[in-house]
Structure 1
Amino acid sequence: MSKFDHIRPFYDTEVNQALRSIADDPMMKAIMAFTFPELEEAEWVKELHRTYSIRDFQINFIYPAINMVLKKSSEGLSYSKLQHLDQHTPYLFISNHRDIILDTSLLNYVLYSEDLMMTSSAIGDNLVKRPLLLALSRLTRNFVVQRGLPAREMLESSRLMSEYIGELIFHENRSVWIAQREGRTKDGNDATHKGILKMIAMGKGDLADLEYFKKLNIVPVSFSYEYDPTDVLKMPELMAKSRSEVYVKQDNEDFNTIINGIMGQKKRIHVHIDSPINDEIDAILQKGESGNKQLQELCDVIDRRIISNYKLWPSNYIAFDLLYPGELFANEYTEAEKQDFVARMNKGVDTSDVVALENFLNMYANPVKNKQTILNGE
């Protein structure tokens, strides 16, 4: 027994048995029918039974599934050039987080397309309560982040996860993905939470925090969707926050968000995978400041990279100009694009409710404001 057994992905020796156990699940059949509409069920089941490794499952089943998702629910995926990454070097990818499943799936899609190492990725245990979802997450090299534990247990869980991240990078030579904050960004403000870095640093051993982060090879990643497929679904939580109320999720809310995120319309998508930030870490170290101040500066470095490389779409500029009348960015979109965005907004939001309208528009406009702040050196 390994101390990581309750959070780790499947080992390759466990993959075939796991695949056989889920082949008859109705949801699995629906996923395969969507991915391979030209195949009879017996054909994909036969191929599934011949699969004995996570990599083969990702390449032969998940990669085609993401291709089909992009075909059916987007107008295409673009991504940055990746010459600055080495195919044999493990990295710690830290990104903004907009979609539960697609963010990490698209990152691995891009990495595989460029012949780079795919990641092991963090996923909250609240998202894998259904047996099939847990199996699929373990079959795609996800490790489980435990949520909602009492304080002492949470501390031990964080320590274990930090140790596991180190195990993956330093001993298994495996890249890791983790979001810059717990949970998805709902309001378009992408900010790295210091608590995430503190958790990761628990595994540093005798090293200083920033020396450890240098060894991890941190690479910021920016995910940008022209339309957020779950924008309307985020509104109840945003409205509760605006009223200073505690938001309580509905039953099956996470599952419905997963489905809508995958199948909802996204229009264009861009993924920017940056270069490692070791030079910036060296610059912070040279200042000789306190550990807490250094961690905040590291958060700021990651934020600047993510926000600077965030691809702004017409939807972002339209939302800004609707929120702040004056058409400051009118050259960034067409009248047809504006009409499409307004129609989408009118369909999902009660525009007579000023607070609801502002929350929806801010979701798209905040990336514009944040990028302007960085460009202006504020």
Structure 2
Amino acid sequence: MGISIEFDDIRPYNNEELPQIFEELISDPAFQNAIAYAIPGVPFEAVAQKMRSCKTSLEFQKAFSAEFLWGIARKYTNGLTFDNSALTNQELSYTYISNHRDIILDSGFLSILLLNVGKETVEIAIGDNLLIYPWIKKLVRVNKSFIVQRGLSMRQMLESSARMSRYMHYAIAEKGQSIWIAQREGRAKDSNDRTQDSVLKMLAMGGEGGIIDKLLSLNIAPLSISYEYDPCDYLKAKEFQLKRDIEGYKKTTQDDLKNMETGLFGFKGQVHLQAAACLNDKLTGLDRSLAKCELFAQISAIIDKEIHRNYKLYPGNYIAHDLLAGDKQFADKYTTEDQQRFEEYIAGQIEKIDLSEKDIPYLREKLLTMYANPLKNYLAAL
């Protein structure tokens, strides 16, 4: 009981809590509106009846989340692929640490792809800054998310991080539940994916033994997520210019909603998820006598290398690299038609940016950099 009480306001809902939460969602007008938008043409009473028939979170995910996400994949991608063959022990629960492109789809696609190969879905770390309405907070916890608390004082943040770490260790060891967490707070706006040491420090707050022992017990599996096109690329470029031009610029809640919607319903081309081998062998080989900061830096570098070398690269990555460099180093990786199509795509994305003082050369460079960085990091990792 003690363990349950400690995590009560951050953990996913237990199955026995679901009936009450379903009724609260069903009676919420804002949730009703969201369902009408997400599942048009289906009477809400039919949705409510289907929800009430779900006895577990997994049943809910199969009935709603998976159906919705496969619908997104069919309509807004050119295919969704997954390779987890490097994870040789399929009985283990893993902590998937991945690069972060899309607020909802990174973890969502992982879950449905795991279901597709007969595995359990992951529990998802999600920042409370995105849970802007009560129904969203309830829905994500039904959908096996646990809450990362943001915007706290330094002392509160330490306490919150330690509790979340204890929860993650509990989920892996006691629940036998795999987890997804991003390698950094927020998305890498320029696609230069780097693991924040602070994420690893948080993971090492829970568990038993030294830093290495604590991380070994989480069975860390680096995961590379490669989108051919990032529908939010133009929003990220716009944010770069706003941050350059306006001192202290901060995104609004409306901006977050716009990013969510654009990420979901924008075209992504091909999407590939590639799991690297569990890091336990590499962690075991590290020097435990190193200073903490040096140890965390080494582990971050190991995760980065695994993520970078497992990217799937697309023609746009090579074209962006060559356009920035002003040469044709990778001309054998794409055709003239590929280049024309990609340059038209970039021009079209710049066209979408609604700024009165639009700095087109700057925005174009930022967009090209987003597509070139995965290739740069891939080459360095090799």
Shift in CA distance, 83/219, structure 1 to aligned 2, threshold 3 Å: closer
- Looking at structure 2, the residues matched to 51 and 255 of structure 1 have their Cα atoms a distance apart, in angstroms, of 28
Alpha carbons 2:317, 2:372 under 8 Å: kept: yes
Give aligned-pair identity as a percent: 35
Alpha carbons 1:307, 1:370 under 8 Å: kept: yes
Residue 151 (structure 1) aligns with: 154
- Looking at structure 2, the residues matched to 146 and 160 of structure 1 have their Cα atoms a distance apart, in angstroms, of 10
- Looking at structure 1, the residues matched to 195 and 328 of structure 2 have their Cα atoms a distance apart, in angstroms, of 31
Matched, 1:194 2:230: no
Structure 1 residue 323 displacement after superposition = 0.9
- Looking at structure 2, the residues matched to 242 and 284 of structure 1 have their Cα atoms a distance apart, in angstroms, of 41
1:251-330 pair list within 5 angstroms: 251-285=253-287, 288-330=289-331
Matched, 1:366 2:367: no
Matched, 1:97 2:100: yes
Structure 1 residue 167 displacement after superposition = 1.4
Residue 48 (structure 2) aligns with: 45
Shift in CA distance, 328/102, structure 1 to aligned 2, threshold 3 Å: same
Alpha carbons 1:90, 1:117 under 8 Å: kept: no
Q: Which letter does structure 2 place at the counterpart of 1:249?
A: K
Residue 17 (structure 1) aligns with: 20
Shift in CA distance, 319/140, structure 1 to aligned 2, threshold 3 Å: same
- Looking at structure 1, the residues matched to 94 and 168 of structure 2 have their Cα atoms a distance apart, in angstroms, of 11
Alpha carbons 1:16, 1:53 under 8 Å: kept: no
Alpha carbons 2:11, 2:147 under 8 Å: kept: yes
Structure 1 residue 242 displacement after superposition = 4.9
Alpha carbons 2:169, 2:217 under 8 Å: kept: no
Q: Which letter does structure 2 place at the counterpart of 1:133?
A: I
Residue 233 (structure 1) aligns with: 235
Range with bigger deviation, 213-222 or 335-344 = 335-344
1:95-174 pair list within 5 angstroms: 95-174=98-177
Residue 331 (structure 1) aligns with: 332
Structure 1 residue 55 displacement after superposition = 0.4
Residue 354 (structure 2) aligns with: none
Give the one of 180, 184, 198 matched to 2:183. 180
Q: Give the SS at the match of 1:75.
A: coil
Residue 218 (structure 1) aligns with: 220
Q: Taking structure 1 as the reference length, what is the TM-score of the superposition? A: 0.92
Q: Which letter does structure 2 place at the counterpart of 1:143?
A: F
Alpha carbons 1:22, 1:28 under 8 Å: kept: no
Structure 1 residue 129 displacement after superposition = 1.3
Alpha carbons 1:70, 1:77 under 8 Å: kept: yes
Shift in CA distance, 156/108, structure 1 to aligned 2, threshold 3 Å: same
Shift in CA distance, 5/193, structure 1 to aligned 2, threshold 3 Å: same
- Looking at structure 2, the residues matched to 40 and 332 of structure 1 have their Cα atoms a distance apart, in angstroms, of 49
Q: Give the SS at the match of 1:303.
A: helix
Structure 1 residue 143 displacement after superposition = 0.7
Q: Which runs of 5+ in 2 are unaligned?
A: 352-357
- Looking at structure 1, the residues matched to 339 and 308 of structure 2 have their Cα atoms a distance apart, in angstroms, of 24
Alpha carbons 2:224, 2:310 under 8 Å: kept: yes
Q: Give the SS at the match of 1:167.
A: helix
Residue 77 (structure 1) aligns with: 80
Alpha-carbon displacement from aligned partner over 1:2-52 (angstroms, at most 9, x marks no partner): 12122111111122232233236110232233xxx6x55443332222112
Structure 1 residue 329 displacement after superposition = 1.3
Range with bigger deviation, 23-32 or 172-181 = 23-32
- Looking at structure 1, the residues matched to 55 and 291 of structure 2 have their Cα atoms a distance apart, in angstroms, of 49
Alpha-carbon displacement from aligned partner over 1:51-72 (angstroms, at most 9, x marks no partner): 1210000111111111100011
Range with bigger deviation, 325-334 or 104-113 = 325-334
- Looking at structure 2, the residues matched to 84 and 188 of structure 1 have their Cα atoms a distance apart, in angstroms, of 25
Alpha-carbon displacement from aligned partner over 1:298-352 (angstroms, at most 9, x marks no partner): 1111000000001111111111111111121122222222222222211222796
Structure 1 residue 85 displacement after superposition = 4.5
Q: Give the SS at the match of 1:272.
A: strand
Shift in CA distance, 48/55, structure 1 to aligned 2, threshold 3 Å: same
- Looking at structure 1, the residues matched to 379 and 245 of structure 2 have their Cα atoms a distance apart, in angstroms, of 28
- Looking at structure 2, the residues matched to 159 and 244 of structure 1 have their Cα atoms a distance apart, in angstroms, of 35
Q: Taking structure 2 as the reference length, what is the TM-score of the superposition? A: 0.91
Alpha-carbon displacement from aligned partner over 1:257-285 (angstroms, at most 9, x marks no partner): 11111110001000001220111112213
Structure 1 residue 237 displacement after superposition = 2.7
Structure 1 residue 144 displacement after superposition = 0.8
Q: Which runs of 5+ in 1 are unaligned?
A: none
Q: Give the SS at the match of 2:78.
A: strand
Shift in CA distance, 244/319, structure 1 to aligned 2, threshold 3 Å: farther
Q: May I ask how many residue pairs the two structures share in their alignment?
A: 369
Alpha carbons 1:240, 1:246 under 8 Å: kept: no
Q: Give the SS at the match of 1:51.
A: coil
- Looking at structure 2, the residues matched to 108 and 98 of structure 1 have their Cα atoms a distance apart, in angstroms, of 16
Structure 1 residue 238 displacement after superposition = 2.1
Q: Give the SS at the match of 1:2.
A: helix
Alpha carbons 2:86, 2:276 under 8 Å: kept: no
